[in-house]
Amino acid sequence: MAYIDHDLVDRIKREVNLPKLIEESGTILREHSNGTYQGLCPFHEDRNPSLSVTNKTGKWLWHCFGCRKKGTVIDWIIEKEGMSFKEAYEYLAAYAGKETPEKNPSLSTPRKEPPPKRNLKLLKEVFKYYGETNKTNGKAQEYLKQRGITSPEIYERFRIGYADGTLPKQKELLPGLKSMGILTEREYETYSGYVVLPIEDTQGELRGIYGRRLINKDQYDHKYLKGTHQGVFNARAFRVSKRIYLTECIIDALSLYQTGIRETVSLFGAGGFTEDHIKYMKENQTEEIVLCLDNDETGRISAEKISKKLKKDLGIKCYNLDIPEGIKDINEWLLKGMEKEDVIKNIKRIVILE
pLDDT score for 105 = 41
Comparing 340 with 114, the larger pLDDT belongs to: 340
Indicate whether 106 belongs to any domain.
no
Answer yes or no: do 199 and 250 share one domain.
no
Per-residue DSSP letter, 232: B
Indicate whether 70 belongs to any domain.
yes
CATH code, domain with 36: 3.90.580.10
Answer yes or no: do 225 and 256 share one domain.
no
pLDDT score for 1 = 41
pLDDT score for 48 = 81
Answer yes or no: do 213 and 189 share one domain.
yes
Comparing 88 with 258, the larger pLDDT belongs to: 258
Length of the chain counted residue by residue: 354
Looking at 189, 209, 229, which one is the last position of a domain? 229
Answer yes or no: do 237 and 224 share one domain.
no
Indicate whether 103 belongs to any domain.
no
**How many alpha carbons lie under 13 Å from residue 314 in its C-beta half-sphere?**
22
N-terminal to C-terminal alpha carbon distance within the chain: 48
Predicted model pTM = 0.75
When mean pLDDT is compared across 174-178, 233-237, 297-301, 337-341, the lowest value belongs to 297-301
Answer yes or no: do 162 and 209 share one domain.
yes
pLDDT score for 20 = 87
Indicate whether 100 belongs to any domain.
no
Domain range for 82? 6-95
pLDDT score for 202 = 97
Q: What is the count of structural domains for the chain?
A: 3
Residue 35 has pLDDT above 90, yes or no: no
CB 161 within 8 A of CB 191: no
pLDDT score for 95 = 76
Looking at 181, 200, 229, which one is the last position of a domain? 229
CATH code, domain with 264: 3.40.1360.10
Residue 125 has pLDDT above 60, yes or no: yes
Tens-place pLDDT, residues 248-303: 999 999 999 999 999 999 998 887 899 999 999 999 999 999 999 999 888 888 89
CB burial of residue 193 (10 Å; 0-12, 13-18, 19+): buried
Indicate whether 107 belongs to any domain.
no
Tens-place pLDDT, residues 148-178: 999 999 999 999 999 999 999 899 999 999 9
Indicate whether 105 belongs to any domain.
no
Answer yes or no: do 251 and 350 share one domain.
yes
Query: Which residues, at least 6 apart from 142, have a Cβ–Cβ distance to it below 8 Å?
Result: none
Answer yes or no: do 206 and 248 share one domain.
no
Dihedral (Cα; 249, 204, 341, 309), 10-degree rounding: 60
Residue 210 has pLDDT above 70, yes or no: yes
Tens-place pLDDT, residues 172-194: 999 999 989 899 888 989 899 99
